[in-house]
Amino acid sequence: MYAIVDIAGQQFKVEEGEKIFVHRLDKKEGDKVDISEVLLIDQDGKIVVGQPVIKGASVTAKVIDHPRGDKVKVFKKKRRKGYQILNGHRQDFTQIQIESILEKGAEKKTVAKKEAVTKSVEKPKTKAVAEKTVETKVEVEKKAEVKTTKKPVTKKATASSEKSAEVKGEAKASATKKPAATTKKAATKKEPAKSAAKSTKKEDK
């Protein structure tokens, strides 16, 4: 069984019990390192490939030592310029030993963390929060009462408008009736004049 792992930007093929050199890690000797960036796992011919990482897979390793690599000489020269420099470099490494390769070990840890987070979120509300919710409920009820009291005002307005319309209708009816009464009075006044003219004509005869 082996796995391909990404450690500090480099990919390594690792097996259980194998020792490898990687770039310097910020760990002390004897500390354990959990590697979650597992790209591929081969388990007895069964290959699992990540996209790009296998979810839930992890590789645990132990830090053994922090050695330095061999010296590398760096020589620079520019011809006809009298320029030449010789430098040396030794890379810092960390030697680790692979202890175990787990295909689904990290999933349990993440699930446990999620459960802990949900429990911490579901805390009982404090008194201040409860009082605020009660105050908001009271304000909503007051607003609803104000809305219900405003509705009859519209009804009164419509009733007063109806009354005014009725009064106007009566006034119009009375206005139309008055000319008829005046015509009747005029007719009654003209009748005695006609009778007087008839009596004078009879006397002449």
| Higher local confidence (pLDDT), 9 or 200 | 9
Assess contact for 19 and 64: CB atoms under 8 A.
yes
Average pLDDT over residues 16-42: 95
**32-66 pLDDT per residue, tens:** 999 999 999 998 889 999 999 999 999 999 999 99
**113-140 pLDDT per residue, tens:** 666 666 665 555 555 555 666 667 777 7
Q: Is the pLDDT of residue 17 over 80?
A: yes
CA distances from residue 14 to 43, 45, 59, 80 in whole angstroms, order as listed = 12, 16, 9, 50
- Could you tell me the residue ranges of all domains in the chain? 2-75+84-104, 122-179
Assess contact for 19 and 101: CB atoms under 8 A.
no
Distance CA 17, CA 98 (A): 5
**129-187 pLDDT per residue, tens:** 556 666 677 777 777 776 665 555 444 455 566 666 666 666 666 555 554 444 444 44
Q: Output the pLDDT for position 183.
A: 46
Burial call 27-60: b when 16+ CB within 10 Å, e when fewer: eeeeeebebbbbbbbbeeeeeeeeeeebebbbbb
